[in-house]
Chain A
């Protein structure tokens, strides 16, 4: 089926009309019209500026529709948790929920279960709760740094955020329905819709993973309800796994006995099966697997590329590190491009899925340009590599990142 711009906006418009947010006579902006009653006057940045966007403040707007909003790096220097109004946003399709009524929302659980059921928000809030600090990171975070360059959302490092999530375990919800013998996986989908006749966004987890007690349905993020742009009222949290699985506006949980053939599991978000998920640029014919666990990463946050700093024999560095799906065991920093490494002090531990702040003082041996590095080793003993990987999707970057500064 061919879709045209008018049809696409008619669909989006219907949802807005049903939410009572747009009067029937108003025109929506889009490919066929320049007027937009929903304009908030938000100025979109030219170049690398930031802009306010809906409930988000000072974000890098990679794309307006559907929204791709990146967190500026300075936010990660301000604290170990990412404020909700600076938390990155990524949607695949433009037909996203712009209004949700709490009383009428229902979460459906069905498929290979003893008794399908639906839960209201009130019922979900009455279930036993859990809290977990966990990093949400886009599979393609840092894609813009891949060499050779690859197409896709051109994130720098800001498609990630750390939050304290509160909600109920997926296991508890599955047990209410009763998982039947032979169940193989759990398929999760939300209220966003494609604009064309393609598979709606849906991700699946193996049944044992879904029931591990850490995968959870979150209704609170940093002690507040989720922003709409981050999946209000409910989203999936898959600690230690890339964000593609963290289904937003979650409203359907389906237990299945067969593997998911949906595009978003079978074709999209696949990485090479090599140990580091890297291949030689241009190579073909290699095996792929669905992306899954995150890898160790670390970022110096108090100095940024291009900073001209006052020379001192020792300078303070600080930043954030993550262990992937393990805790942070050690962070080291270098001010001479890796010739010498110095162990950093690790700050408060919020659990193995959270950012960990670190700080150190490093000797600066000469004036002039300096390449500042941080390197993380996780509790499983994996240390970041110096060399970046490459894959055509621009996924899973995890090498040591350099900050280029100069000391005068």
Chain B
């Protein structure tokens, strides 16, 4: 093995950590909400789990692709989407992305 990258046990490296310090981190605020005509549904259904940025960064998707995403969110991740909301939410996402 080349120097500096040996695997397996080795004598204690003087730079080897002697201890760990308790740690804490602050995350930035995530206050962004959707606005516009579908805002209530988008905010209620989507933001329980993740930021709007998850949706904003998606590439252009067809309606079928958005529908598959909504169904996956609901079935695999138990997103708070009522069965009757699946189609309206899909339409809302298509409108949201079309608006740019």
Q: A residues within 8 Å of B by Cβ? A: 1-5, 7-8, 19, 21, 29-31, 33-36, 38-42, 44, 53-55, 61-67, 93-94, 98-103, 121, 125, 128-133, 144, 149-151, 153-154, 164, 166, 194-198, 213-214, 219-220, 223-225, 227-229, 232-233, 263, 267-268, 348-351, 354
Contact = CB atoms under 8 A, between A and B. Distances in A.
Contacts of A130: 7-10
A4 B80 contact: yes
B58 A2 contact: no
A129 B48 contact: no
Interface string B21-50: 111111111111100000000011001111
B17 interface: yes
Contacts of A224: 17
Nearest to A197: B78
Nearest to B2: A349
B24 A195 contact: no
B38 to A, nearest CB: 15
B7 A99 contact: no
A36 B30 CA distance: 8
Given A102-B22, A213-B7, 8 more contacts: A34-B33, A40-B27, A64-B51, A101-B22, A131-B6, A151-B58, A198-B76, A354-B5
Given A66-B50, A151-B69, A350-B2, A30 B30 contact: yes
Contacts of B17: 125, 166, 219-220, 223-225
Residues of B in contact with A, size category: 35 or more
B84 interface: no
B20 A36 contact: no
Nearest to A263: B76
A54 B8 CA distance: 34
Contacts, number: 193
A4 B6 CA distance: 49
Nearest to B7: A132
A129 B9 contact: yes
Interface in B50-96: 50-51, 53-54, 57-61, 65, 69, 76-80
23 contacts: A8-B48, A29-B31, A38-B29, A41-B28, A62-B53, A63-B54, A64-B27, A64-B32, A64-B51, A65-B30, A65-B50, A99-B22, A99-B24, A99-B25, A131-B5, A151-B61, A196-B79, A198-B77, A224-B17, A267-B76, A268-B76, A350-B5, A351-B7
Contact of B29 (A31, A39, A125, A128): A39
Given A67-B27, A130-B9, A166-B16, A103 B49 contact: no
Nearest to B66: A151
A177 B57 CA distance: 45
A133 B20 contact: no
A373 B2 CA distance: 28
Contacts of B24: 19, 21, 98-100, 228
Contacts of B15: 223
B28 A63 contact: no
A199 to B, nearest CB: 10
B77 to A, nearest CB: 6
A34 B31 contact: yes
Nearest to A122: B19
A81 to B, nearest CB: 10
Contacts of A268: 76
B10 A54 contact: no
A224 B26 CA distance: 19
B4 A195 contact: no
B80 A102 contact: no
Nearest to B4: A350
B28 A154 contact: no
B29 A225 contact: no
Nearest to A43: B28
B25 A42 contact: no
B72 to A, nearest CB: 9
B51 A1 contact: no
B100 to A, nearest CB: 13
A150 B57 CA distance: 12
A214 B7 contact: yes
A98 B32 CA distance: 21
A55 B54 CA distance: 21
Contacts of B61: 149, 151
Contacts of B23: 99-100, 102, 225, 228, 232-233
Given A130-B9, A133-B5, A149-B60, A125 B47 contact: no
